[in-house]
Amino acid sequence: MPVNSFDDYPMSWKPEKEQLTSPKYRALADLLADDILSGKLPPHTKLPPQRELADYLDLNLSTITRAFQLCTQKGLLYGITGRGTFVSPNAAIDIAIADEKEEASYIEMGIIKPLDAFNTETYAVMEQVLQRGGTALLDYSYPMGTPYQRAAAQKWLEHFSMDVSPSNIAITAGAQNALAILLLTLFRPGDKIATDHYTYANFIELANMMQIRLIPISGDAEGMLPDVLENHCRLQQLNGIYLVPNYHNPTGHIMSQSRKEALAAIIRKYALLAIEDDIYGFLLEKPSLPLAHFAPDYTCYICSLSKSICSGLRIAYLTFPTRFAADIRRGIYNVNVKTPSLNSETAGELIYSGIAKKIIGQKRIEAAARSEICKDFFPEIAKNPLGFSLWLPLPERFHETDFEHLAQKRGISVCHSHRFLVGEADVQQYLRIALSSPDTKEELTKGLSILRDLLASDMDENFFCI
């Protein structure tokens, strides 16, 4: 029996003892996971001390420890030395796009949509490809892409200063698919991957699902700091690193060539497997040498067409060192069998015809115009001239507010920085505002006006009646 009485004792979490079947550590981990994923235990909730919970449940301390470890491996918990164990900020977060436009009663400024008005040109090319290619585009042949499709990929990658053989290129169903394949084939549960303190939310979720630990590395206006990364490499065994050097999602920072060189030196020194996600590289005004250029034997480079050309095309080009070729081919075949030839062939036609380059030019003009609109509302923050999103500091008076819910009630959808957080939360909180997602510049203007007024509103009692 417990030594102490817990009848009136305040505890942040009191699981039902009757539900603890054998093995109890796993049953306890399942109960904890259910309460986190259901939202019953909100982000950053401090859990009871393990000894206290063991006393309450009349269990051994080791049983509690094992349950907590299971949930930590799944990305549901994080610990702070000397302070305790807390619920992860993005454990129960769901990022979803409305199934139908009619379902959204708000202006979309949360999910980053890539200026979908330009999809008409992709549609026209796809019609031509389908008429020309016939049923040959609908079978299982060429799981890694036809020679023509991979040659088109090689040609496209040259725009991003990537000089790579077609034998080291795979065609995947978008960047998300490429990330999943890399994590499945090149990493194992329990491996550690260094990331920025704030990083791509879907990568966080993938790592959690595969029980891969993400290690946050602090940074500055250019991104991850090399000396901090090296200190982590000295202190613990890191297996990999994930970076978004150009127009980083969500912070928008752009990494200089010198910073890439410094990080590449550490990657080579400690034999880290690097994943370079260059989904926004097409927005750079001047071409930049990728990280893969400085650490080619250690870097897998992803160049997706989702943001640059067409999101629904679901095509990304993945380059990899030769030593990983067999593993990646096996992963692609067992996950995808193949990327649909209709999509790959359409991408090739867009590239060879010059239409892809034309679409990029149009998107850059539109992105610049939207950035100018944003400067009218947030001039001190909107610095990137071509960014698809804005990383906006959230005033302190809103830090205890469910700001996403509040904003949606006012007619806009935004994303809070907790969605992108790896590790302990900063004192400062942020909003990621998608400038490319509203259908028109007029809708963007309206959304930014709502947001500015909301952030300037008085904090009276009626303000929070949402």
Q: SS3 sequence, 266-293? A: HHHHCCCEEEEECCCHHHCCCCCCCHHH
110, with CB counted inside 10 A (0-12, 13-18, 19+), is buried
Q: DSSP assignment of 358-426, as one string?
A: HHHHHHHHHHHHHHHHHHHH-TTT---SS-SEEEEEEPGGGTTS-HHHHHHHTTEE-EEGGGGB-SSPP
Between CA 204 and CA 284 the distance in angstroms is 25
Which parts of 159-284 fold into alpha helices (H)?
175-186, 201-209, 226-235, 257-269
3-state secondary structure of 40: coil
CA distance 334 to 274: 23
CB contact burial 326-360 (16+ within 10 A = b; e otherwise): eebbebbeeebebbbbebbbbbbbbbeeebbeebb
Which tokens is 434 given?
A: 């998608």
pTM assigned to the model: 0.81
Nearest to 254 by CA among 219, 213, 204, 227: 219
| pLDDT tens series, the chain, 466 aa | 445 555 556 788 988 888 888 899 999 999 998 888 877 888 778 899 999 999 989 999 999 999 998 888 777 887 776 788 888 766 666 555 555 444 558 999 999 999 988 899 999 999 999 888 778 788 888 888 889 999 999 999 999 999 999 999 999 999 999 999 999 999 999 999 999 999 999 999 999 999 999 999 999 999 999 999 999 999 999 999 999 999 999 999 999 999 999 999 999 999 999 999 999 999 998 888 999 999 999 999 999 999 999 999 999 999 999 999 999 999 999 999 989 999 999 999 999 999 999 999 999 999 999 999 999 999 887 666 778 999 999 999 998 788 998 999 999 999 999 999 998 888 899 999 999 999 999 999 999 999 999 999 875 444 433 3
| Residue 432, strand partner residues | 391, 415
Instruction: For the chain, give the longest Cα–Cα distance.
Output: 78
3-state helix, strand, coil in the chain (%, to 5): 45, 15, 40
